Amino acid sequence: MPTDKKDRHTSDVKLTLRLPVRSNGRQLFCIEKTGTEAWLPRSHTCFNRLDLPPYTSYDQLREKLLLAIEETEGFGQE
């Protein structure tokens, strides 16, 4: 995945590209399996969580993840 798309994905999950002021450098987030393969991945910035549907192939995962990154932004995605 190109760097600009990785950065955008990271910001979707983390809300910001910067670490908090009092951070020890580690910022963990959870990946939770949820939904059906028709769903797009969904981020929850308040909980540092990425909801990832159970896709049947790497190609499907990549397609849906890129679609979610490129075509959605901000709040109100539900």
Which is it for strands 49-52 and 30-33: parallel, antiparallel or unpaired? parallel
Structure tokens at 70: 């490129």
Structure tokens at 61: 């995962």
Check if 30 is active-site: no
Q: Cα(8)–Cα(40) distance, rounded to whole angstroms?
A: 16
Q: Of 38, 46, 57, 71, which is the active-site residue?
A: 46
Catalytic residue set: 46
